[in-house]
Amino acid sequence: MQRKIINTPNAPAPIGPYNQAILVNDTLYISGQIPIDAATGELNNATLQDETHQSMKNLQAILTEAGMAFSNVVKTTIFLTDMKRFTEVNEVYGQYFTADPPARETVQVAALPKFVNVEISMIAVK
């Protein structure tokens, strides 16, 4: 088994004992991303749409570091603090997967790190 840690300064540094992603053979496992702007270290959370875009940009930076793109993503998980706002997240999320979207689940949770409203993780394959 080939295992490689993937970290990029273009996505937020981990806020705990984990890595941004791990590449195992041809499969990339990306840790959940919240809306921290890597350039400033600040939350981009003015609106839920801003949070979702920033989370997706962070995921894109990690995919790029691993030599992949959204077209390589096979599975995502979205964590939301309020399922009633699913449509708002889904509209932004759909802008990143315009053709052949991956498998996905969306789960409502009581709270997320830094008390954001959305966190997204991904699995991608080369």
pLDDT per position as a tens digit, 15-31:
899 999 999 999 999 99
10 class by beta-carbon count within 10 Å (0-12 exposed, 13-18 middle, 19+ buried) = middle
Q: Where are the domains of the chain?
A: 3-125
At 14 the pLDDT is 93
Give every residue of the chain whose pLDDT is below 50, as ranges.
none
Domain over 3-125 is classified CATH 3.30.1330.40: yes
At 15 the pLDDT is 87
Average pLDDT, rounded, for the chain: 97
